[in-house]
Structure 1
Amino acid sequence: MSEYERSRTMPALPELVFDQVSDLDRLDRWLPQDLHAQVEDPPAVTVHEDRTGHDVRALFEVRPEQLRAEWGTRDQGSYAGWLQVAGIGSGASEVTVHLSFFDEDHAPPREAVHASLDRSLERLAEEVRMRGEQAG
């Protein structure tokens, strides 16, 4: 099994950050750019991966009371992940994303996953910033 984790601080209340994460219509705005989620009957989604051209049946569940989202493949159980938002005071949040690949032979290189996670967290921070500006 290969596991990866990255965190980022965001200057926004945790509820605002989680609101962006849990909006299924906005997943593509912060997911890695080569992944595209099509919401079916939540929590069911289909994820298209540009790199392979494959569609994968997945689940995306949110736990608002925990400010947590969890996801994974539906059929083969080869991949899972979670994202946790935590308030760190002064109106800021820390967002941690964790990925687990259960098949070592299909796990991407560590550097590629870290770069993708960092970029996703950057995209999420930008979405949260823009949403905050629109609300203010």
Structure 2
Amino acid sequence: MGHHEASTTVDVAANILFDYVSDLDNLPDYLPRLAGIHRIAPRPDEAQGLEVRRPKEPVHEEVEVAATVPSGQTVHSEAWIDIVEENRSLRWGAPGDGDYHGELDVDFVADGTSRLTVRLDTEHGTVDAINSQLHEALESIKTKLEQETTPEA
């Protein structure tokens, strides 16, 4: 199994960055191969806020995703996503032969600046292609959020 990791600095506050990346509706905007995502179960009670779960307990979501594979074909698969607000961490995976899973972390750097790191473990694709997609996803997030939060002159 190949382990891949990429990071970037984003000139946006850590809480704003994490709110964006942890919103499931935004995932297709920044994950290059993800064509769509929808929940296959109601949102868990833990998703209502920190006061209804134990410290660092993840909000676990079961989802169905549509993704475009390298051949150009769209495939549908079940997956899971865990969101841990206190750690500003998003973890995901898909059942099956490839044991595909990953993690995205947002770290505070300074006021208005964050570090975004993505890790992916997969057997699918070449090292260069996967690393390119990780950098593409990070650049997409960075560009979108920095443009949205830059005050107009």
Q: Could you say whether these structures have the same fold, taking a TM-score greater than 0.5 normalized by the shorter chain as the test?
A: yes
CA shift, 1:47, in A, is: 1.8
Distance 2:108 2:36 in 1: 27
Greater C-alpha Rg? 2
Distance 1:126 1:44 in 2: 29
Deviation readout 1:98-123 (Å, 9 max, x if unpaired): 0012xx4xx21010001100110111
How high is the sequence identity, in percent, across the aligned residues? 28
CA shift, 1:77, in A, is: 6.1
Coordinate RMSD, CA, aligned: 1.8
**What is the TM-score with the length of structure 1 in the denominator?**
0.85
Distance 1:60 1:131 in 2: 26
Distance 1:25 1:86 in 2: 22
**Are residue 30 (structure 1) and residue 30 (structure 2) matched?**
yes
8 A Cα contact 1:70 1:82, kept in partner: yes
Deviation readout 1:17-43 (Å, 9 max, x if unpaired): 0010011111111112x2123121351
Aligned residue pairs, count: 129
**What is the TM-score with the length of structure 2 in the denominator?**
0.76
1:90-101 aligned at under 5 Å gives the runs: 90-101=111-122
Distance 1:35 1:85 in 2: 21
**Are residue 117 (structure 1) and residue 122 (structure 2) matched?**
no
CA shift, 1:44, in A, is: 1.4
Greater share of residues in helix: 1
CA shift, 1:91, in A, is: 1.9
Distance 1:60 1:133 in 2: 30
**Are residue 49 (structure 1) and residue 70 (structure 2) matched?**
no
Deviation readout 1:34-90 (Å, 9 max, x if unpaired): 212312135112222222421111011211111000000045562000000001114
Q: Aligned residue for 1:63?
A: 84
Distance 2:85 2:12 in 1: 17
Structure 2 unaligned blocks of 5 or more:
44-60
**Are residue 83 (structure 1) and residue 97 (structure 2) matched?**
no
CA shift, 1:7, in A, is: 0.3
Runs of 4+ that moved beyond 6 A: none
CA shift, 1:130, in A, is: 4.0
Q: Aligned residue for 1:12?
A: 12
